[in-house]
Copies of this chain bind each other. A is one copy, B any other.
Amino acid sequence: MAGNSFGSVFKLTSFGESHGKAVGMVLDGCPAGITLCEADIQVELNRRRPGQSTITTQRKEADEVQILSGVFEGLSLGTPIAVLIHNHDQESKDYSHLKDAFRPSHADFTYQEKYGHRDYRGGGRASARETVARVAAGAIAKKYLSLSTSIKTRAYVSSIAHVDLETKYTELNLDLIESNLVRCPDPEKAAAMIALIEESKAKGDSLGGIISCVIENCPIGLGEPVFDKLEAQLAKAMLSIPAVKGFSIGSGFEGTKLKGSEHNDAFEIKEGRVHTKTNHSGGIQGGISNGMDIYFEVAFKPTATIMQKQESIDSAWQEISLEAKGRHDPCVLPRAIPIVEAMANLVLADNLLLSKLSKL
């Protein structure tokens, strides 16, 4: 109820403030018998880790993962898997200037109002540091999916501000996603995006953009209509990521301009299975995966923390002037790629389990 759990039968409960002792999660409902070790998780955390390149925050956190329970002799036990990532920087900085400040477009004001008490250090629970727990859980989901299906979930940056990839995913080489710092599979566009981010960073400003995600080889039958349609779960998953402002599946907002006769995906039999000639549906019909690629887009606003002086107010409702300290991401999208994938894989793992229950 209180919002820190995700999933129904493959369910993670996340915890931790950005400058508390640790961030972590407990995953309940992971089936027994999955080969799993800390390295399986660490590899995904490394993709999210701060300080990994010139266009991310220069903050250094090792983000070393520790599995506390639920795994024995290299196999999951079917009992809760608790995972911990210690916060090493926690006491090294002075955050007293933020104690009473409400930073623009941050959660300071709303947390103060809702809870009456908040951890003001680095955003506390509202910090994007919280997403490290999601990536850890997502890594376990990915492992489970890899043992039960051929699902392949890949996200990439498709726009940074006005620099837009334009090319459809079907015409891209997704193996190039990790070949550059911004995680865009088109090397030329990637270079333009990186240049734009560096320019913005130099000005102390920030940028947003769009992440696209493709899920290949999804089995038919995932999703629980009517309220837990697969796209509805994905939408919730994505909008729960800090800084996300929009979600679209398949034809999305652009599809609203097509006529029904253009938009409908005609069925055909291809390579011995049911197929659609087009895929405006984005791989989901009636809330249930139809076996085609699942394709969705996620809009991220520009990072709220900027290295420029801003006017704001404090908790006594007095006007103040704020200037960010520390090292921040001028653009969150490159590091958000593993987060989008993690959330998608968590939705898939949960629904794969649920799909075992639909028929006698």
Which one of B22, B144, B257, B299 lies within 8 Å of A208 (CB-CB)?
B257
Given A107-B288, A236-B232, A288-B110, answer yes or no on A125-B264 (Cβ-Cβ < 8 Å). no
Copies of this chain, whole number? 4
Residue of A9, A224, A227 ringed by the most chain B CB atoms within 10 A: A227
13 pairs across A/B with beta carbons < 8 Å?
A1-B29, A3-B287, A4-B80, A104-B276, A107-B285, A148-B360, A161-B258, A232-B238, A234-B239, A245-B282, A246-B252, A246-B256, A263-B304
Residues of B within 8 A of A251 (CB): 245, 301
Q: Are A313 and B269 in contact (CB under 8 A)?
A: yes
Instruction: Report the stretch among A54-62, A71-79, A166-174, A181-189 that lies at the interface.
Output: A71-79
Residues of B within 8 A of A265 (CB): 104-105
Smallest CB-CB A-B distances: 6 pairs: A107-B286, A3-B224, A206-B260, A246-B248, A236-B236, A110-B288
Q: Size band of the A side of the interface?
A: 35 or more
Residues of B within 8 A of A250 (CB): 245, 301
Q: Are B259 and A206 in contact (CB under 8 A)?
A: yes
Q: Are B9 and A28 in contact (CB under 8 A)?
A: no
Which one of B75, B124, B290 lies within 8 Å of A77 (CB-CB)?
B124
Say yes or no: is A289 at the interface (Cβ < 8 Å to chain B).
Answer: yes
Residues of B within 8 A of A274 (CB): 102, 109, 313, 317
Q: Are A225 and B125 in contact (CB under 8 A)?
A: yes
Residues of B within 8 A of A148 (CB): 360
1/0 per position for A278-322, CB-CB distance to B under 8 A?
001110111111100000010111111110101111000101000
